[in-house]
Structure 1
Amino acid sequence: MFSHIFSSLTAYLLTSFLLTLTPGPDALLVMRTSITGGRRKGLGVVCGIASAWLLWGLAAMGGLSALVVVSKTGFQLLKWIGVLYLVWLALRMLFNSAQTAPMLNLESEALTGAGSPGPEPASGFWASWRQGLLATLTNPFVGLMVCAFFPQFIPPGSNIAAFTLLLTLLQMAVALVVFGSLVVLTVPLGRFLTRPSVARAFDWVTGLLLLAFSVKLALATVPR
Protein backbone atom coordinates (compact mmCIF):
# COMPACT_ATOMS: atom_id res chain seq x y z
CA MET A 1 0.00 0.00 0.00
CA PHE A 2 2.82 2.38 0.92
CA SER A 3 4.57 1.74 -2.40
CA HIS A 4 1.37 2.61 -4.30
CA ILE A 5 0.99 5.85 -2.34
CA PHE A 6 4.65 6.77 -2.87
CA SER A 7 4.53 6.11 -6.62
CA SER A 8 1.25 8.04 -6.96
CA LEU A 9 2.64 11.05 -5.10
CA THR A 10 5.89 10.98 -7.08
CA ALA A 11 4.03 10.87 -10.39
CA TYR A 12 1.69 13.63 -9.23
CA LEU A 13 4.49 15.95 -8.12
CA LEU A 14 6.36 15.53 -11.40
CA THR A 15 3.22 16.20 -13.47
CA SER A 16 2.19 19.09 -11.24
CA PHE A 17 5.57 20.79 -11.61
CA LEU A 18 5.42 20.48 -15.39
CA LEU A 19 1.87 21.87 -15.56
CA THR A 20 2.69 24.75 -13.21
CA LEU A 21 5.77 25.64 -15.28
CA THR A 22 3.55 26.01 -18.36
CA PRO A 23 3.17 29.76 -19.10
CA GLY A 24 -0.25 31.11 -18.18
CA PRO A 25 -2.02 34.13 -16.69
CA ASP A 26 -0.82 33.27 -13.17
CA ALA A 27 2.84 33.38 -14.20
CA LEU A 28 2.30 36.64 -16.09
CA LEU A 29 0.61 38.20 -13.07
CA VAL A 30 3.45 37.10 -10.77
CA MET A 31 6.11 38.52 -13.08
CA ARG A 32 4.38 41.82 -13.73
CA THR A 33 3.61 42.41 -10.03
CA SER A 34 7.18 41.53 -9.04
CA ILE A 35 8.57 43.98 -11.57
CA THR A 36 6.33 46.89 -10.65
CA GLY A 37 5.83 46.24 -6.95
CA GLY A 38 8.89 44.36 -5.78
CA ARG A 39 9.36 41.12 -3.90
CA ARG A 40 6.68 41.70 -1.23
CA LYS A 41 3.84 42.29 -3.70
CA GLY A 42 5.08 39.49 -5.95
CA LEU A 43 4.96 37.06 -3.04
CA GLY A 44 1.50 38.41 -2.20
CA VAL A 45 0.25 37.24 -5.60
CA VAL A 46 1.96 33.86 -5.11
CA CYS A 47 0.29 33.38 -1.72
CA GLY A 48 -3.05 34.38 -3.25
CA ILE A 49 -2.66 31.72 -5.95
CA ALA A 50 -1.79 29.09 -3.34
CA SER A 51 -4.79 30.14 -1.22
CA ALA A 52 -7.09 29.74 -4.23
CA TRP A 53 -5.79 26.19 -4.71
CA LEU A 54 -6.67 25.44 -1.08
CA LEU A 55 -10.21 26.75 -1.59
CA TRP A 56 -10.61 24.71 -4.78
CA GLY A 57 -9.39 21.61 -2.94
CA LEU A 58 -11.84 22.16 -0.07
CA ALA A 59 -14.60 22.71 -2.64
CA ALA A 60 -13.67 19.41 -4.30
CA MET A 61 -13.94 17.64 -0.95
CA GLY A 62 -17.44 19.09 -0.61
CA GLY A 63 -18.38 18.27 -4.19
CA LEU A 64 -18.74 21.93 -5.23
CA SER A 65 -15.98 21.99 -7.84
CA ALA A 66 -17.38 18.79 -9.35
CA LEU A 67 -20.69 20.62 -9.73
CA VAL A 68 -18.93 23.47 -11.56
CA VAL A 69 -17.32 21.02 -13.98
CA VAL A 70 -20.45 18.92 -14.57
CA SER A 71 -23.01 21.75 -14.56
CA LYS A 72 -23.05 23.75 -17.78
CA THR A 73 -24.56 26.75 -16.01
CA GLY A 74 -22.00 26.69 -13.19
CA PHE A 75 -19.11 26.32 -15.61
CA GLN A 76 -20.34 29.13 -17.85
CA LEU A 77 -20.94 31.48 -14.92
CA LEU A 78 -17.47 30.97 -13.48
CA LYS A 79 -15.93 31.08 -16.95
CA TRP A 80 -17.37 34.51 -17.75
CA ILE A 81 -16.39 35.87 -14.35
CA GLY A 82 -12.86 34.73 -15.14
CA VAL A 83 -12.99 36.26 -18.62
CA LEU A 84 -14.13 39.62 -17.26
CA TYR A 85 -11.43 39.60 -14.60
CA LEU A 86 -8.68 38.81 -17.13
CA VAL A 87 -9.98 41.53 -19.48
CA TRP A 88 -10.04 44.02 -16.60
CA LEU A 89 -6.44 43.17 -15.69
CA ALA A 90 -5.36 43.42 -19.35
CA LEU A 91 -7.04 46.78 -20.01
CA ARG A 92 -5.67 48.16 -16.76
CA MET A 93 -2.15 47.31 -17.91
CA LEU A 94 -2.67 48.58 -21.45
CA PHE A 95 -4.20 51.93 -20.49
CA ASN A 96 -2.06 52.59 -17.44
CA SER A 97 1.30 51.69 -18.97
CA ALA A 98 2.04 55.26 -20.09
CA GLN A 99 1.07 56.70 -16.73
CA THR A 100 2.95 54.20 -14.60
CA ALA A 101 6.20 54.22 -16.56
CA PRO A 102 7.63 57.37 -14.89
CA MET A 103 6.81 55.92 -11.46
CA LEU A 104 8.64 52.72 -12.31
CA ASN A 105 11.94 54.58 -12.35
CA LEU A 106 11.46 55.26 -8.64
CA GLU A 107 10.41 51.69 -8.00
CA SER A 108 13.47 50.34 -9.80
CA GLU A 109 15.64 52.17 -7.27
CA ALA A 110 13.80 50.42 -4.49
CA LEU A 111 14.19 47.06 -6.22
CA THR A 112 17.93 47.46 -6.68
CA GLY A 113 18.69 49.09 -3.34
CA ALA A 114 19.32 52.66 -4.54
CA GLY A 115 17.91 55.56 -2.54
CA SER A 116 16.22 55.19 0.81
CA PRO A 117 12.74 53.81 0.23
CA GLY A 118 10.52 53.55 3.25
CA PRO A 119 8.90 50.33 4.37
CA GLU A 120 6.16 49.11 2.06
CA PRO A 121 2.70 49.19 3.63
CA ALA A 122 1.17 45.84 4.52
CA SER A 123 -1.84 46.68 2.37
CA GLY A 124 0.34 46.24 -0.71
CA PHE A 125 0.85 42.57 0.13
CA TRP A 126 -2.83 41.92 0.78
CA ALA A 127 -3.98 43.78 -2.33
CA SER A 128 -1.66 41.57 -4.38
CA TRP A 129 -2.85 38.52 -2.45
CA ARG A 130 -6.44 39.30 -3.43
CA GLN A 131 -5.38 39.72 -7.06
CA GLY A 132 -3.69 36.31 -7.14
CA LEU A 133 -6.61 34.72 -5.28
CA LEU A 134 -9.22 36.03 -7.73
CA ALA A 135 -7.13 35.15 -10.81
CA THR A 136 -6.99 31.47 -9.81
CA LEU A 137 -10.36 31.24 -8.07
CA THR A 138 -12.22 32.44 -11.20
CA ASN A 139 -10.46 29.94 -13.46
CA PRO A 140 -12.84 26.99 -13.99
CA PHE A 141 -10.01 24.86 -15.36
CA VAL A 142 -8.45 24.79 -11.92
CA GLY A 143 -11.68 23.16 -10.75
CA LEU A 144 -11.43 20.79 -13.71
CA MET A 145 -7.89 19.86 -12.70
CA VAL A 146 -9.00 19.14 -9.14
CA CYS A 147 -11.92 16.95 -10.31
CA ALA A 148 -10.39 15.24 -13.34
CA PHE A 149 -6.65 15.32 -12.64
CA PHE A 150 -6.46 14.56 -8.92
CA PRO A 151 -8.47 11.29 -9.02
CA GLN A 152 -5.90 9.75 -11.37
CA PHE A 153 -3.37 9.85 -8.54
CA ILE A 154 -5.58 8.57 -5.72
CA PRO A 155 -4.60 4.93 -4.99
CA PRO A 156 -7.46 2.40 -4.78
CA GLY A 157 -8.70 1.93 -1.25
CA SER A 158 -7.51 5.34 -0.06
CA ASN A 159 -9.68 7.85 1.72
CA ILE A 160 -10.71 10.07 -1.20
CA ALA A 161 -11.34 13.22 0.84
CA ALA A 162 -8.09 12.92 2.81
CA PHE A 163 -6.03 12.17 -0.30
CA THR A 164 -7.64 15.05 -2.19
CA LEU A 165 -6.61 17.35 0.66
CA LEU A 166 -3.06 15.94 0.53
CA LEU A 167 -2.83 16.53 -3.23
CA THR A 168 -4.19 20.04 -2.73
CA LEU A 169 -1.52 20.83 -0.13
CA LEU A 170 1.15 19.45 -2.45
CA GLN A 171 -0.16 21.61 -5.30
CA MET A 172 -0.01 24.63 -3.02
CA ALA A 173 3.61 23.78 -2.21
CA VAL A 174 4.42 23.41 -5.91
CA ALA A 175 2.81 26.79 -6.69
CA LEU A 176 4.74 28.45 -3.86
CA VAL A 177 8.06 26.97 -5.04
CA VAL A 178 7.59 27.61 -8.78
CA PHE A 179 6.04 31.08 -8.59
CA GLY A 180 8.17 32.07 -5.58
CA SER A 181 11.26 31.22 -7.63
CA LEU A 182 9.84 33.36 -10.44
CA VAL A 183 9.60 36.30 -8.03
CA VAL A 184 13.20 35.78 -6.88
CA LEU A 185 14.44 35.61 -10.48
CA THR A 186 12.38 38.58 -11.70
CA VAL A 187 13.06 41.17 -8.98
CA PRO A 188 16.86 41.46 -9.62
CA LEU A 189 16.03 42.50 -13.19
CA GLY A 190 13.98 45.40 -11.83
CA ARG A 191 16.32 48.23 -12.91
CA PHE A 192 16.31 47.05 -16.54
CA LEU A 193 12.66 46.01 -16.67
CA THR A 194 11.40 49.24 -15.10
CA ARG A 195 12.99 51.56 -17.65
CA PRO A 196 10.09 53.55 -19.15
CA SER A 197 10.40 52.08 -22.66
CA VAL A 198 10.89 48.52 -21.40
CA ALA A 199 8.09 48.89 -18.82
CA ARG A 200 5.64 50.13 -21.45
CA ALA A 201 6.56 47.29 -23.79
CA PHE A 202 6.26 44.72 -21.01
CA ASP A 203 2.86 46.07 -19.95
CA TRP A 204 1.64 46.00 -23.55
CA VAL A 205 2.87 42.45 -24.11
CA THR A 206 1.44 41.28 -20.79
CA GLY A 207 -1.89 43.02 -21.44
CA LEU A 208 -2.20 41.52 -24.91
CA LEU A 209 -1.32 38.04 -23.63
CA LEU A 210 -3.93 38.32 -20.89
CA LEU A 211 -6.48 39.38 -23.53
CA ALA A 212 -5.48 36.30 -25.54
CA PHE A 213 -5.98 34.10 -22.47
CA SER A 214 -9.39 35.71 -21.91
CA VAL A 215 -10.43 34.94 -25.50
CA LYS A 216 -9.24 31.34 -25.10
CA LEU A 217 -11.24 31.03 -21.89
CA ALA A 218 -14.31 32.63 -23.51
CA LEU A 219 -14.24 30.04 -26.30
CA ALA A 220 -13.92 27.12 -23.88
CA THR A 221 -16.80 24.71 -23.49
CA VAL A 222 -17.84 22.41 -20.68
CA PRO A 223 -15.45 19.42 -20.71
CA ARG A 224 -17.02 16.10 -21.58
Structure 2
Amino acid sequence: MDMLSPVTILSFITTCVIIELTPGPNMAYLAILSASEGRRYGFAAVAGVALGLLVVGCAVAMGVATLISQSAPAYQLLRWGGIAYFFWLAWDGWKTSDNITAQNAQDTPKAARFFKRGLITNLLNPKAAIFYVAILPNFITASSHIQAQAIFLTALYVCVATVIHTIIVTLAGTARTFLNNPVYHRRARRILSLSLAGVAIWFAWSTGYTAP
Protein backbone atom coordinates (compact mmCIF):
# COMPACT_ATOMS: atom_id res chain seq x y z
CA MET A 1 0.00 0.00 0.00
CA ASP A 2 1.64 3.25 -1.20
CA MET A 3 0.02 5.34 1.56
CA LEU A 4 1.88 3.47 4.32
CA SER A 5 5.64 2.97 4.39
CA PRO A 6 7.15 -0.49 4.98
CA VAL A 7 8.60 0.78 8.26
CA THR A 8 5.16 1.86 9.45
CA ILE A 9 3.63 -1.47 8.48
CA LEU A 10 6.41 -3.42 10.21
CA SER A 11 6.04 -1.29 13.34
CA PHE A 12 2.31 -1.90 13.35
CA ILE A 13 2.75 -5.67 12.97
CA THR A 14 5.25 -5.69 15.85
CA THR A 15 2.80 -3.75 18.02
CA CYS A 16 0.00 -6.19 17.17
CA VAL A 17 2.14 -9.20 18.04
CA ILE A 18 3.09 -7.73 21.43
CA ILE A 19 -0.53 -6.88 22.22
CA GLU A 20 -1.83 -10.30 21.15
CA LEU A 21 0.81 -12.12 23.18
CA THR A 22 -0.40 -10.27 26.28
CA PRO A 23 -2.87 -12.54 28.12
CA GLY A 24 -6.45 -11.41 27.58
CA PRO A 25 -10.03 -12.69 27.18
CA ASN A 26 -9.49 -14.14 23.71
CA MET A 27 -6.36 -16.04 24.67
CA ALA A 28 -7.97 -17.42 27.83
CA TYR A 29 -11.22 -18.39 26.14
CA LEU A 30 -9.55 -20.12 23.18
CA ALA A 31 -7.12 -22.02 25.41
CA ILE A 32 -9.92 -23.16 27.71
CA LEU A 33 -12.16 -24.17 24.82
CA SER A 34 -9.44 -26.08 22.97
CA ALA A 35 -8.34 -27.95 26.07
CA SER A 36 -11.89 -28.99 26.96
CA GLU A 37 -13.54 -29.47 23.55
CA GLY A 38 -10.67 -30.05 21.13
CA ARG A 39 -8.89 -28.19 18.36
CA ARG A 40 -11.69 -28.41 15.81
CA TYR A 41 -14.00 -26.29 17.92
CA GLY A 42 -11.12 -24.06 18.95
CA PHE A 43 -10.45 -23.29 15.29
CA ALA A 44 -14.17 -22.59 14.77
CA ALA A 45 -14.01 -20.07 17.62
CA VAL A 46 -10.86 -18.53 16.10
CA ALA A 47 -12.81 -17.88 12.90
CA GLY A 48 -15.57 -16.21 14.93
CA VAL A 49 -13.04 -14.11 16.82
CA ALA A 50 -11.46 -13.01 13.53
CA LEU A 51 -14.81 -11.95 12.09
CA GLY A 52 -15.66 -10.07 15.29
CA LEU A 53 -12.35 -8.19 15.22
CA LEU A 54 -12.88 -7.38 11.55
CA VAL A 55 -16.40 -6.05 12.14
CA VAL A 56 -15.26 -3.88 15.06
CA GLY A 57 -12.30 -2.63 13.02
CA CYS A 58 -14.51 -1.66 10.10
CA ALA A 59 -16.83 0.10 12.55
CA VAL A 60 -13.86 2.12 13.76
CA ALA A 61 -13.03 3.07 10.19
CA MET A 62 -16.56 4.43 9.88
CA GLY A 63 -16.38 6.27 13.20
CA VAL A 64 -18.82 4.09 15.15
CA ALA A 65 -16.31 2.93 17.75
CA THR A 66 -15.16 6.51 18.31
CA LEU A 67 -18.69 7.36 19.40
CA ILE A 68 -18.72 4.36 21.78
CA SER A 69 -15.37 5.34 23.28
CA GLN A 70 -16.67 8.86 23.98
CA SER A 71 -19.99 7.74 25.43
CA ALA A 72 -19.88 6.33 28.96
CA PRO A 73 -23.35 4.68 28.75
CA ALA A 74 -22.53 3.00 25.42
CA TYR A 75 -19.19 1.78 26.71
CA GLN A 76 -20.67 0.42 29.94
CA LEU A 77 -23.50 -1.31 28.10
CA LEU A 78 -21.02 -3.08 25.83
CA ARG A 79 -18.68 -3.84 28.72
CA TRP A 80 -21.29 -5.42 30.96
CA GLY A 81 -22.76 -7.31 28.03
CA GLY A 82 -19.35 -8.92 27.49
CA ILE A 83 -18.95 -9.73 31.19
CA ALA A 84 -22.41 -11.31 31.31
CA TYR A 85 -21.63 -13.35 28.22
CA PHE A 86 -18.46 -14.79 29.78
CA PHE A 87 -20.42 -15.75 32.88
CA TRP A 88 -23.02 -17.41 30.65
CA LEU A 89 -20.29 -19.42 28.91
CA ALA A 90 -19.01 -20.55 32.31
CA TRP A 91 -22.50 -21.59 33.42
CA ASP A 92 -23.16 -23.39 30.14
CA GLY A 93 -19.88 -25.31 30.41
CA TRP A 94 -20.64 -26.33 34.00
CA LYS A 95 -24.19 -27.35 33.13
CA THR A 96 -23.16 -29.57 30.23
CA SER A 97 -20.32 -31.25 32.13
CA ASP A 98 -22.77 -33.97 33.23
CA ASN A 99 -23.85 -34.70 29.66
CA ILE A 100 -20.62 -35.71 27.95
CA THR A 101 -21.31 -38.05 25.07
CA ALA A 102 -19.81 -38.58 21.66
CA GLN A 103 -22.18 -37.00 19.14
CA ASN A 104 -20.29 -36.89 15.87
CA ALA A 105 -23.52 -36.27 13.95
CA GLN A 106 -23.76 -32.89 15.66
CA ASP A 107 -20.20 -31.78 14.88
CA THR A 108 -21.23 -29.15 12.33
CA PRO A 109 -23.90 -27.44 14.49
CA LYS A 110 -21.51 -27.54 17.46
CA ALA A 111 -18.72 -25.95 15.42
CA ALA A 112 -21.16 -23.26 14.30
CA ARG A 113 -22.10 -22.63 17.92
CA PHE A 114 -18.50 -22.03 18.95
CA PHE A 115 -17.98 -19.84 15.88
CA LYS A 116 -20.92 -17.72 17.03
CA ARG A 117 -19.56 -17.56 20.57
CA GLY A 118 -16.18 -16.35 19.34
CA LEU A 119 -17.93 -13.72 17.24
CA ILE A 120 -20.21 -12.47 20.03
CA THR A 121 -17.37 -12.43 22.57
CA ASN A 122 -15.49 -9.91 20.44
CA LEU A 123 -18.47 -7.84 19.39
CA LEU A 124 -19.15 -7.36 23.12
CA ASN A 125 -15.52 -6.56 23.94
CA PRO A 126 -15.10 -2.78 24.33
CA LYS A 127 -11.31 -3.18 24.57
CA ALA A 128 -11.30 -4.24 20.91
CA ALA A 129 -12.92 -0.94 19.96
CA ILE A 130 -10.60 0.98 22.29
CA PHE A 131 -7.60 -0.74 20.68
CA TYR A 132 -8.62 0.44 17.24
CA VAL A 133 -9.42 3.95 18.43
CA ALA A 134 -6.22 4.31 20.49
CA ILE A 135 -3.67 2.43 18.38
CA LEU A 136 -4.67 2.74 14.71
CA PRO A 137 -4.45 6.56 14.48
CA ASN A 138 -0.77 6.39 15.47
CA PHE A 139 0.01 4.48 12.27
CA ILE A 140 -2.26 6.31 9.84
CA THR A 141 -0.73 8.87 7.49
CA ALA A 142 -2.65 12.11 7.01
CA SER A 143 -4.14 11.96 3.53
CA SER A 144 -7.45 11.70 1.72
CA HIS A 145 -7.39 7.91 2.14
CA ILE A 146 -7.64 7.63 5.91
CA GLN A 147 -10.52 5.14 5.85
CA ALA A 148 -8.66 2.93 3.37
CA GLN A 149 -5.60 2.96 5.62
CA ALA A 150 -7.72 2.11 8.68
CA ILE A 151 -9.34 -0.83 6.88
CA PHE A 152 -5.95 -2.08 5.66
CA LEU A 153 -4.45 -1.92 9.16
CA THR A 154 -7.55 -3.59 10.57
CA ALA A 155 -7.18 -6.49 8.13
CA LEU A 156 -3.48 -6.71 9.01
CA TYR A 157 -4.26 -6.83 12.73
CA VAL A 158 -6.91 -9.53 12.22
CA CYS A 159 -4.36 -11.62 10.30
CA VAL A 160 -1.77 -11.29 13.07
CA ALA A 161 -4.34 -12.06 15.77
CA THR A 162 -5.64 -15.09 13.86
CA VAL A 163 -2.16 -16.56 13.46
CA ILE A 164 -1.46 -16.19 17.18
CA HIS A 165 -4.88 -17.55 18.13
CA THR A 166 -4.34 -20.55 15.86
CA ILE A 167 -1.05 -21.30 17.60
CA ILE A 168 -2.76 -21.04 21.00
CA VAL A 169 -5.49 -23.46 19.91
CA THR A 170 -2.95 -25.91 18.50
CA LEU A 171 -0.89 -25.93 21.70
CA ALA A 172 -3.85 -26.01 24.08
CA GLY A 173 -5.51 -28.74 22.03
CA THR A 174 -2.79 -31.19 22.99
CA ALA A 175 -4.37 -31.39 26.43
CA ARG A 176 -7.43 -32.90 24.78
CA THR A 177 -5.67 -36.28 24.49
CA PHE A 178 -5.64 -36.51 28.30
CA LEU A 179 -9.35 -35.84 28.58
CA ASN A 180 -10.78 -38.90 26.84
CA ASN A 181 -11.75 -40.41 30.19
CA PRO A 182 -15.32 -39.15 30.94
CA VAL A 183 -14.52 -38.61 34.63
CA TYR A 184 -11.42 -36.55 33.90
CA HIS A 185 -13.29 -34.75 31.14
CA ARG A 186 -16.12 -33.79 33.48
CA ARG A 187 -13.72 -32.55 36.14
CA ALA A 188 -11.70 -30.63 33.58
CA ARG A 189 -14.80 -28.96 32.14
CA ARG A 190 -15.89 -27.84 35.60
CA ILE A 191 -12.45 -26.49 36.41
CA LEU A 192 -12.34 -24.71 33.06
CA SER A 193 -15.85 -23.34 33.62
CA LEU A 194 -14.64 -21.82 36.88
CA SER A 195 -11.68 -20.45 34.92
CA LEU A 196 -14.08 -18.79 32.48
CA ALA A 197 -15.86 -17.19 35.41
CA GLY A 198 -12.43 -15.98 36.51
CA VAL A 199 -11.89 -14.52 33.04
CA ALA A 200 -15.20 -12.65 33.39
CA ILE A 201 -14.08 -11.18 36.73
CA TRP A 202 -10.67 -10.26 35.27
CA PHE A 203 -12.40 -8.72 32.24
CA ALA A 204 -14.63 -6.63 34.53
CA TRP A 205 -11.61 -5.41 36.49
CA SER A 206 -9.32 -4.73 33.51
CA THR A 207 -11.92 -2.77 31.52
CA GLY A 208 -13.28 -0.77 34.44
CA TYR A 209 -10.60 1.91 34.44
CA THR A 210 -10.72 2.42 30.66
CA ALA A 211 -14.29 3.68 30.64
CA PRO A 212 -14.57 7.19 29.19
Q: TM-score, normalised by structure 2?
A: 0.86
Count of aligned pairs between the two proteins: 209
Tell me if 1:132 matches 2:118: yes
Deviation of the 1:18 alpha carbon: 1.0
RMSD: 2.6
Deviation of the 1:198 alpha carbon: 5.9
Flag structure 2 segments of 5+ consecutive residues without an equivalent: none
Instruction: Determine the structure 2 residue equivalent to 1:44.
Output: 44
Deviation of the 1:143 alpha carbon: 0.5
Instruction: Determine the structure 2 residue equivalent to 1:89.
Output: 89
Name the aligned partner's letter for residue 167 of structure 2. Answer: S
Preserved contact between residue 4 and residue 155 of structure 1 (Cα < 8 Å): yes
Name which of structure 1's ranges 64-73 and 148-157 shifts more when overlaid on structure 2: 148-157
Deviation of the 1:219 alpha carbon: 3.1
Name which of structure 1's ranges 177-186 and 212-221 shifts more when overlaid on structure 2: 212-221
Name the aligned partner's letter for residue 54 of structure 1. Answer: L
Preserved contact between residue 80 and residue 218 of structure 1 (Cα < 8 Å): no
Kindly tell me: are residues 202 and 142 of structure 1, through their superposed partners in 2, closer, same or farther at Cα, counting changes over 3 Å?
same
Instruction: Determine the structure 1 residue equivalent to 2:172.
Output: 186
Instruction: Determine the structure 2 residue equivalent to 1:123.
Output: 109
Name which of structure 1's ranges 71-80 and 14-23 shifts more when overlaid on structure 2: 71-80
Preserved contact between residue 79 and residue 140 of structure 1 (Cα < 8 Å): yes
- Structure 1 residue ranges, 4+ long, deviating more than 6 angstroms after superposition: none
Deviations 1:82-124 (A, max 9, x none): 121122223334x337525xx3xx77xxxxxxxxx84663212
Instruction: Determine the structure 2 residue equivalent to 1:111.
Output: none
Flag structure 1 segments of 5+ consecutive residues without an equivalent: 108-116
Q: For the residues of structure 1 that align with 2:196 and 2:2, how far apart are their CA atoms?
A: 47
Q: For the residues of structure 2 that align with 1:202 and 1:21, how far apart are their CA atoms?
A: 24
Instruction: Determine the structure 2 residue equivalent to 1:216.
Output: 205
Name the aligned partner's letter for residue 184 of structure 1. Answer: T
Preserved contact between residue 36 and residue 189 of structure 2 (Cα < 8 Å): no
Q: For the residues of structure 1 that align with 2:161 and 2:25, how far apart are their CA atoms?
A: 13
Q: For the residues of structure 2 that align with 1:200 and 1:52, how far apart are their CA atoms?
A: 25
